[in-house]
Amino acid sequence: MKLTKSGIDALTCPPGKRDVMFTDSEVKGFAVRVNATGTKTFLFNYRFAGKPKRLVLGQYGALTLAQARKLAEAARGRAMAGGDPAGDKKAQVQEYQAQVAEQAAQAAANALTLDVLIDRWLAGALRDRAASYRRDAPQRIRYALPHLLGRAAHAITQAEVQARLDEIAEDHPTTARRLHAYGRAMYGWAVKRGLVPDNPFSAAIVEGREISRDRVLSDAELGEFWRASGLLPYPFGPFFRLLVLTLQRRNEVAGMQWSEIASDLSTWTIPAERAKNGKAHIVHLSEPARHVLAGLHRQTDPKTGVISPLVFTNTGRTPISGFSAAVARLEALIMRERAEQATSGQKKREKSPSTLQATVGWRLHDLRRTGVTVMARLGIGPHVADRVLNHTEGTIKGVAAVYQRHEFLTERAAALDAWAGHVLSVASGVGIEPTAGNVVRLKR
């Protein structure tokens, strides 16, 4: 039949049939299919490579009869020329779908900025890591790469990473190595999950080898540290003294809370979430350490008047900070003592103020190494010293480490008592006592 608008409007699907097709007598292959629901669809039927093919032109209503016939005529022309109109349309649809999928994937990739990737890494791979690693790794990356945080993570290049590592390594090679390790671990995790195509940190390098610090304070320097710390007010005077007496890490001591300390001041328990290795650690408090704590007052939040849970705080809400400035003040006191001794009759022939070194030459972390070294001199076993420092991997290794679960609490207490006695002896003191202003001074 010749398809007309009125004829198409009158077409229906016979009862009991799913659909029926009516072909046009003017354009060969042009047809309309009417299904049981009343929907009418324009089609073009042809043969390609000896097989029947069908091209769906569109629904009646969305297309007029004239538009559908014109599309059928164009398709007939392509078919007569050896083309495959239905195959071409399918390929176009697939290409379009691929483009849409690619655009969506690109948009998702662009949305994964470095800042977002850090958060994903923290919530995923770092979920079960030690609290210190969870804190330090994201913090170091963000601090070192602030200009890249808003960039798509996949768009950050090795050249950019290398340039930043080189810049940091000029003055702080250890910091550059830590950044390199953290960035490589994060991107390696992201590559395995298909979040980014490659790892810009994997081929980057940090020049030179890492040299482990071996600085140990001499007995004279240890005495200087103790005496100078006694001249500093709260919070850093008592903080420095507890740092040397307990031999724990700087941030662990800085974050000390009253609730972590036994009521009789005998022990301090560092909770797992604050310990670097993620394991709770009991620290024996020697008599000098107890004296330091006994001389401290509970701080309050100046804004709310609420008593702070923190032992060392300037705000009542957060642990102390500003360690560099505090160490500088400590150094100044030490250098002043050296200058005074150099000009005194006792030291005059040995050294003059003009020949004094500019800095003390040690870091706070060197106190831990100094403590372990002195313990060896005092006959304390290295396995006990390892436990004092909360080192999970120390002198006991391999199969023995798997089965060795003894904590050596008694031996650790004796070790810290002996260490405290050594500190006081090299400072030429026989004891310590709290004084006004929360300053713990040496009793001579």
Distance (Å, whole) CA 174 – CA 379: 33
Q: What are residue 428's phi and psi, to 5 degrees? A: 60, 40
Does a structural domain hold residue 43?
A: yes
Query: Greater confidence, 140 or 430?
Result: 140
Element (H, E) at 59: strand 51-59
pLDDT digits (tens, 9 = 90+) for 316-325: 999 999 999 9
* Domain end (from 54, 78, 107): 107
Contacts of residue 105, defined as CB under 8 A and 6 or more positions apart, other chains included, come to: none
Q: What is the CATH number of the domain that holds 53?
A: 3.30.160.390
Domain of residue 223 covers 219-443
- Using 50, 70 and 90 to split pLDDT, how confident is the model at 436? very low
pLDDT at 96: 84
pLDDT digits (tens, 9 = 90+) for 342-356: 887 555 445 444 445
Same-domain pairing of 90 and 122:
no
Same-domain pairing of 13 and 100:
yes
C-alpha torsion angle, residues 52, 53, 57, 60 (rounded to 10): 40
- Other C-beta atoms within 10 Å of 358: how many? 7
How big is the CA angle at 32 (ends 27 and 36), to the nearest 5 degrees?
A: 165
How big is the CA angle at 129 (ends 126 and 132), to the nearest 5 degrees?
A: 105
Where do the DSSP E strands lie in 204-321? 267-270, 281-284
- Using 50, 70 and 90 to split pLDDT, how confident is the model at 181? very high
Element (H, E) at 44: strand 40-48
Does a structural domain hold residue 288?
A: yes
What are the tokens at 339? 């200058």
Average pLDDT score over residue span 43-59: 92
- Other C-beta atoms within 10 Å of 364: how many? 17
Same-domain pairing of 266 and 397:
yes
pLDDT at 172: 87
Winning range, highest mean pLDDT, from 44-58, 224-238, 385-399:
224-238
Does a structural domain hold residue 211?
A: no
pLDDT digits (tens, 9 = 90+) for 196-205: 999 999 999 9
Q: What is the CATH number of the domain that holds 127?
A: 1.10.150
Same-domain pairing of 286 and 139:
no
pLDDT at 209: 64
Average pLDDT score over residue span 31-54: 93
**Does the pLDDT value for residue 247 go beyond 80?**
yes
Does a structural domain hold residue 249?
A: yes
Distance (Å, whole) CA 285 – CA 369: 19
pLDDT digits (tens, 9 = 90+) for 84-109: 999 899 998 888 888 888 878 777 77
Q: What are residue 316's phi and psi, to 5 degrees? A: 85, -10
Distance (Å, whole) CA 177 – CA 175: 5
pLDDT at 183: 96
Q: Is 420 helix (H, G, I), strand (E, B) or coil?
A: helix
Same-domain pairing of 156 and 289:
no
Same-domain pairing of 334 and 237:
yes
What are the tokens at 231? 């001249």
* Domain end (from 107, 141, 158): 107
What are the tokens at 282? 């009991």
Distance (Å, whole) CA 166 – CA 189: 24
Same-domain pairing of 123 and 101:
no
pLDDT at 433: 39
Distance (Å, whole) CA 283 – CA 202: 40
Does a structural domain hold residue 209?
A: no
- Give which of 242, 240, 273 is closest to 364, Cα–Cα: 240
Mean pLDDT score across all residues of the chain: 87
**Does the pLDDT value for residue 21 go beyond 90?**
yes
Distance (Å, whole) CA 141 – CA 175: 10
What are the tokens at 238? 């008592």
Q: What is the CATH number of the domain that holds 401?
A: 1.10.443.10
Does a structural domain hold residue 204?
A: no
- Give which of 296, 299, 308 is closest to 242, Cα–Cα: 296
Same-domain pairing of 324 and 397:
yes
Same-domain pairing of 129 and 45:
no
Same-domain pairing of 162 and 276:
no
Give how many domains the chain has, as a whole number. 3
The Cα-based distances of 354 to 339, 346, 348 in angstroms read 9, 17, 12
Looking at residue 420, its amino acid is A
Same-domain pairing of 309 and 347:
yes
Same-domain pairing of 85 and 180:
no
Q: Is 444 helix (H, G, I), strand (E, B) or coil?
A: coil
Does a structural domain hold residue 207?
A: no
**Does the pLDDT value for residue 124 go beyond 70?**
yes
**Does the pLDDT value for residue 127 go beyond 80?**
yes
pLDDT digits (tens, 9 = 90+) for 374-427: 999 999 999 999 999 998 655 544 434 433 446 899 999 999 999 999 999 999
Distance (Å, whole) CA 28 – CA 40: 19
How would you label 34-52 residue by residue, b for 16+ Cβ within 10 Å and e otherwise? beeeeebbbbbbbeeeeee
Distance (Å, whole) CA 210 – CA 198: 26
Q: What are residue 29's phi and psi, to 5 degrees? A: 95, -15
pLDDT at 278: 80
pLDDT at 398: 43
Distance (Å, whole) CA 378 – CA 381: 9
Does a structural domain hold residue 180?
A: yes
Contacts of residue 210, defined as CB under 8 A and 6 or more positions apart, other chains included, come to: 173, 174, 177
Looking at residue 212, its amino acid is S
* Domain end (from 76, 107, 138): 107
Distance (Å, whole) CA 286 – CA 108: 57
pLDDT at 396: 47
Beta-strand relationship, 267-270 and 281-284: antiparallel
The owner of tokens 């060969």 is: 28
Distance (Å, whole) CA 380 – CA 383: 9
